[in-house]
Amino acid sequence: MLDFAALLPYSHVFIHGLITTVEISLLATVLGLVLGVTFAVARQYGATWLSRVVNVYVELIRNTPFIVQLFFIFFGLPSIGFKLSAWEAGTIAMVVNLAAYSTEIIRAGLASTPKGQWEAGKVLGLSFKQTLFRVVIIPAIEKIYPALTSQCIIVMLGSAVLSQISVQDLTYAANFVQSRNFRSFESYLVTAFLYLFLAILMRKAFNLIGKRLFSYRAER
Amino acid sequence: MSMKSFFGKVLVIVASLSSIAAAQANTLEDIQQRHLIRIAVPQDFPPFGSVGLDMQPQGIDIDMANYIAKQLDVKLQLVPVTSANRIPYLQTHKVDLVISSLGKNPEREKAIDFSKAYAPFFLGVFGEKDIPVHDAADLANKTVGVTRGAIEDLELTKIAPKSTTIQRFEDNNTTLSAYLSGQVNLIATGNLVAANIAKRDPSHAPVSKFVLKNSPCYIGMMKNEPALKAKVNELISKALKDGTLNKISLKWLKAPLPKGFGE
């Protein structure tokens, strides 16, 4: 027999978990994308050594499992005297992870910028910086915007792993409730729907931001 | 043979058999006569009983069996058992005593008799030596690591003050890693797990702060053995007094007997 009412006494646990997941995901998305843009520019237009350093970072993160990165930050770093709380370690791991993936995605956008845009900037007397930020970057992001949106949602869903280091996120709430009332079907089903809801919400938010960001097209 | 006389014979046989069973056995006398005691010990449950590098059985239960045999001045035969068959071995007279990390529960008490406790087995809160925690109330505003859903989690959740942060980890190993990496400096776990940490990393040996749930180990024996039970209890009391039990605990559990043990 299914008994969703058995979850009611734990509703505050789910709410607390939901808030934590939203908090961490929001922070990770904003910081991760800012770093992603910075690193992508460094990787694409920076000095050779800088481009190489960024490349090593990107490949290191993209080719190792998220949970290993997380355990390394939470369990590994304290042994060299760098101790973080579970919440901090989880957030940092997500920022580091998203920054690496978004660097590669945004770099692809930058790389596909037609030469003509740079040349147009040059003949108009714009500096490199002006061309980059006023001409190149927005269309570049627009090209890869769907991929970027998906990556951010993947990282938000990946935050489920943070429960492994005792971050009290949504998955932690589900595990906790399940270990108390043994209603695994109900608690994981509700949790799955909450994640689905968050993912849809996030996509809508990205679409909204995208509309404003790329409004230059509509104005024309 | 008529049906009636057949049943009569069966009745006589059954009656004589049950009179044998009812006669009070005296295993203690048997042991002394044959100059040998047979004791069931675990072989796959360190630190209570396991096979050492020299292929010899070792552990708390083996030390305890040796102690009993020595005190009785008889030879010792160790009989390796599993946790599932240790009570059947006793009931079928294959062994005289079971020293096999045996805990007490009402169901077992119906089947066999128990001596006094000889080894500590408990769930408790452990932590670094200098943390001043003596009971649940002292956990206020502190952080305790625990394995989610384990009995110690349920017990701790019941008694911990509201201001305590309980950090729940996925499994025992993650809880241990959290303690060893210093992410938490108090954990709720079993004394065996704590002994394991002490062995791996003596400088961070977790010290028992208070007990959450106590289930010490007893020596098991057949029912209706007053002489044997009295003798075993006497030997345990003696071992408690002269420090033998404490020495065994220090050797295998890396911790002295908890306060009030055996009272």
Q: Check whether B109 has a pLDDT greater than 80.
A: yes
Indicate whether B230 pLDDT > 60: yes
| Plot region of B94 (φ>0 → left; ψ -120 to 50 → alpha; else → beta) | alpha
Q: Specify the higher pLDDT residue, A22 or A215.
A: A22
Residue with tokens 């044998």: B20
User: Does A180 touch chain B if contact means CB atoms closer than 8 Å?
Assistant: yes
Residue B214 bridge partners (DSSP): B122
pLDDT class of B17 with cuts at 50, 70, 90 = low
Whole-number average pLDDT of chain B: 88
Q: For domain A4-219, which CATH number applies: 2.60.120.10, 1.10.3720.10, 3.40.50.11540, 3.30.450.20? A: 1.10.3720.10
CA atoms of B224 and B230, how far apart (whole Å): 11
pLDDT at B22: 45
- Domain ranges in chain B are 25-120+217-253, 122-214
Residue range A178-203: mean pLDDT, rounded: 93
Spatial contact of B260 and B210, defined as CB atoms under 8 Å apart: no
ipTM tops 0.85:
no
Q: Are A168 and A20 in contact (CB under 8 A)?
A: yes
Subunit contact B149:A179, Cβ cutoff 8 A: yes
- For residue B127 the two structure tokens come to 């932590």
3-state secondary structure chain A: CCCHHHHHHHHHHHHHHHHHHHHHHHHHHHHHHHHHHHHHHHHHHCCHHHHHHHHHHHHHHHCCCHHHHHHHHHHHHHHHCCCCCHHHHHHHHHHHHHHHHHHHHHHHHHHCCCHHHHHHHHHCCCCHHHHHHHHHHHHHHHHHHHHHHHHHHHHHHHHHHHHHHCCCCHHHHHHHHHHHHCCHHHHHHHHHHHHHHHHHHHHHHHHHHHHHHCCHHHHC
> Which residues in chain A have their CB less than 8 angstroms from residue B169's CB?
164-166
**∠B262-B251-B145 over CA atoms, to 5°?**
80
CATH 3.30.70.360 fits B122-214, yes or no: no
Return the percentage of chain A with pLDDT > 90, whole number: 87
Closest-CA residue to A172 (of A6, A7, A3, A18)? A18
Residue A199 has pLDDT above 90, yes or no: yes
Asked if the model's pLDDT at residue A158 lies above 50, the reply is: yes
Query: What chain B residue is nearest to A83 in terms of C-alpha separation?
Result: B183
Q: Tokens representing A11?
A: 């509703």
Task: Tell me how many residue pairs between chain A and chain B have CB atoms under 8 A apart.
Answer: 38
Element (H, E) at B39: strand B36-42
Torsion angle, alpha carbons of B47, B52, B58, B59, to 10: -10
Helix (H, G, I), strand (E, B) or coil at B144: strand
Which of A166, A167, A183 has the most B C-beta neighbours within 10 Å, making it the best mutation to test the interface with B? A166
In Å, how far are A157, B44, B69 from B52, measured between CA atoms? 47, 11, 21
Q: Helix A48-62 crosses helix A86-111 at what angle (to 10 degrees)?
A: 120
For chain B, percent of residues with pLDDT exceeding 70: 90
Contact A164 B177 (CB under 8 A): no
Per-residue pLDDT, B259: 80
Is residue B212 within 8 A of residue B79, CB to CB? The reply is no
Q: Where does the pLDDT of residue B197 fall: very low under 50, low under 70, confident under 90, or very high at 90 and above? A: confident
**Nearest Cα residue to A74 out of A165, A168, A172, A171:** A165
Q: What is the pLDDT of residue B18?
A: 53
CB B91 within 8 A of CB B222: yes
Q: Which of A187-201, B42-56, B202-216 has the highest mean pLDDT?
A: A187-201
Long-range contact pairs involving A212-219 (C-beta distance under 8 Å, separation at least 24):
A213/A138, A213/A141, A213/A142, A214/A138, A214/A142, A214/A145, A216/A138
For residue B242, pLDDT beyond 90: yes
pLDDT of residue A160: 95
Q: Which residue of B has its CA nearest to A78?
A: B181
CATH superfamily, domain B25-120+217-253, is Periplasmic binding protein-like II (3.40.190.10)
Q: Which A residues 68-127 touch B at CB under 8 Å?
A: 71, 74-76, 78-79, 83, 86
The C-alpha atoms of residue A7 and residue A181 are separated, in whole angstroms, by 8
Chain centre to alpha carbon of residue B221: 14
Q: Which residue has the tokens 């048997």?
A: B30
Has residue B23 got a pLDDT over 60? no
Partner residues linked to B145 by β-bridges? B167, B187
pLDDT for the residue B4: 63
Tell me the per-residue pLDDT of A75-94, one tens digit each, with 9 for 90 and over: 999 989 898 999 999 999 99
Distance CA B73, CA B78 (A): 15
Say if B168 is an interface residue toward chain A (CB within 8 Å).
yes
Mean pLDDT in residue range A49-78 = 96
Residue A64 — pLDDT band, cuts 50, 70, 90?
A: very high
**Average pLDDT of chain A to the nearest whole number:** 94
Q: Which of A135-149, B17-31, B217-231 has the weakest average pLDDT?
A: B17-31
User: Which chain B residues are Cβ-neighbours of A172 within 8 angstroms?
Assistant: 168
Residue A134 contacts B, CB cutoff 8 Å: no
Within this chain, domains B25-120+217-253 and B122-214 share the same CATH topology: yes
Confidence band of A57 (pLDDT split at 50, 70, 90): very high
Torsion, Cα B215 B221 B223 B229, to 10 degrees, reads: -90
Give pLDDT tens digits for A159-189. Answer: 999 999 999 999 999 999 988 888 889 999 9
Bridge partners of B208, per DSSP, are: B126
Kindly state the average pLDDT of the residues B34-50. 92
